[in-house]
Structure 1
């Protein structure tokens, strides 16, 4: 019975996604989705509650597809700047190829902020930033870097979707991408100075502190982290 319920739910989501990508959320009526999935509307209501619940589920489904596409996109080259460039470009391409789904994913605050797949997408980016910090390549804390990249990439993608026929925006994504990466990475098309080196080294130590084990007490570790963050803000 559980397998049958899952199959019905997946069928409804697939039909809903097809309608969404074809005509936006206005095309996703419960009547049209139920008819396309071959179920009665009460079945849809039992599974999703109402149209808002269905749209929230579609947004989560979109994040799952996005994460799957990222895993298949490319293998790490070992070059931090290049890997982050490719990750950004894949994110923007996903949004431009599926504009209605992307808008639903990121303009819908409820799903965009709280769904497990949305959290997984952010946590994957944060983990990547922590790995970068451990190499000494970050100018800002890993969580700040993750928020900067995510916020800028979402903003650029939504802008490109809204103004898809504006040739003046052809260079928007690569320009913003490189500006953001230059702001967070040491040596990424910006000159480094002694202040930048100190900040990078402070953030490197902050990133690898967990590997130090129990050499420091918890209060000592917290105090050291506060000092390192201050150095990173010089």
Structure 2
């Protein structure tokens, strides 16, 4: 029987779904070539042909689950942008969603926290883009006191650290306030309580202008690029 591109894709998806279910319900030890092959109704060599080895299969599972999760986050951000959701509230909601996902999917979270995997994972990069979109909304309000990149890096680092700390602690000993307190600490560092006037907070004002620089179509591309460079330099020095 000749394998078509469609049948190959269907077989691959079935294997990934089975592996994801086993991982979620029984843990990584259950994700064996034999167990996945039986659950998907395929021969073991099919898994090796499609994924190379168990590690390749786990990569595919992580990417699949993360992509589904990120698409949900992106839809929430889009809805918040279209509505009247406060950007800070939206940022907090995203944080809580990320912490919940990490604690509920420990094996996948640890896999995706590996820098080598993260760099080659489209879903992980998309997740970073969603976070950047949330931070950009805060910048547009004039409340961000650091650069957008700095804010994204701080939130990402704190979130990863919070989840890994919780996962390394027995469930009955976990501090339920740890993640919330950490987010509040980061929030105090990156945002102001209210939009600031230029004379009282030049950094927040510069960040706000930087956020809309790409929309200043009355300037040429070269002028917008130069403005962006000047603002980045000013934000870094303030």
The answer, yes or no, to whether TM exceeds 0.5 is yes
Query: Where in structure 2 are the equivalents of 1:26-45 lying within 5 Å?
Result: 26-45=29-48
* Shift of residue 196, structure 1, vs aligned partner: 6.1
Aligned residues of 1:73 and 1:90 also touching (Cα < 8 A): no
Aligned to 1:137: 143
Equivalence for 1:5: 8
Shift in CA distance, 208/193, structure 1 to aligned 2, threshold 3 Å: closer
Choose from 162, 165, 169 the match for 1:163.
169
Q: Any conservation in 2 of the 1:149–1:180 contact (CA below 8 Å)?
A: yes
Structure 2: tracts of 5 or more residues without a match:
none
Give the corresponding residue for 1:19: 22
Secondary structure in structure 2 of the residue aligned to 1:169: coil
Inter-partner Cα distance in structure 2 for 1:60 and 1:49:
16
Could you tell me which of 111, 116, 136 is aligned with 2:117?
Answer: 111
Count of residues paired in the alignment = 230
Does the 8 Å contact 2:88/2:138 carry over to 1?
A: no
Aligned counterpart, 1:93: 100
Counterparts of 1:61 and 1:195, CA distance in 2: 48
Aligned-residue CA RMSD (Å): 2.5
Which runs of no fewer than 5 residues in structure 1 stay unpaired?
none
- Find the counterpart in structure 2 of residue 127 from structure 1: 133
1:148 correspondence with 2:154: yes
Distance 1:136 1:164 in 2: 41
Distance in structure 1 (CA, Å) of the matches to 2:115 and 2:35:
25
TM-score normalized by structure 1? 0.86
| 1:197 and 2:201 aligned | yes
Alignment of 1:68-83 (within 5 A): 68-71=71-74, 75-76=79-80, 77-83=84-90
CA distance in 2, matches of 1:165, 1:206: 43
Question: What is the alpha-carbon distance in structure 2 between the residues aligned to residue 202 and residue 181 of structure 1?
Answer: 18
Quick check: 120-129 or 69-78, which moved more? 69-78
- TM-score of the superposed pair, with normalisation by structure 2: 0.85
